[in-house]
Amino acid sequence: MRPSNERELAIARTVDKFVSECRFDPAAIDKMAAALGFPVIHPSDRLYLQKYVEWRLANPVVNASGTMPPTHPE
């Protein structure tokens, strides 16, 4: 899912950071939104965040060994 503007890029990077830090939890959208640091979360930002999280669930990050990182810390 390709971001079309700077705000969407920031959203994608934030979600991917949560994934890389093994903090990715689709139920944590509010935490991801807060981590963006936007003064205001517009409805379009919220919608893109939700869609990107859904996309990331369908397209998980695979590391160099060919395995997916855990979605929750152990």
* pLDDT tens per residue, range 2-37: 999 999 999 999 999 988 888 888 788 889 999 998
- Residue 40's CB is within 10 A of a number of other CB atoms, namely 5
Higher pLDDT, 27 or 51: 51
User: Which structural domain range is residue 44 located in?
Assistant: 6-58
Instruction: Output the average pLDDT for the chain.
Output: 83
| Count of structural domains within the chain | 1
Decide if 71 is inside a domain. no
For the record, the structure tokens of 51 come out as 């869609």
Decide if 15 is inside a domain. yes
Decide if 65 is inside a domain. no
Decide if 72 is inside a domain. no
Decide if 51 is inside a domain. yes
For the record, the structure tokens of 70 come out as 């855990």
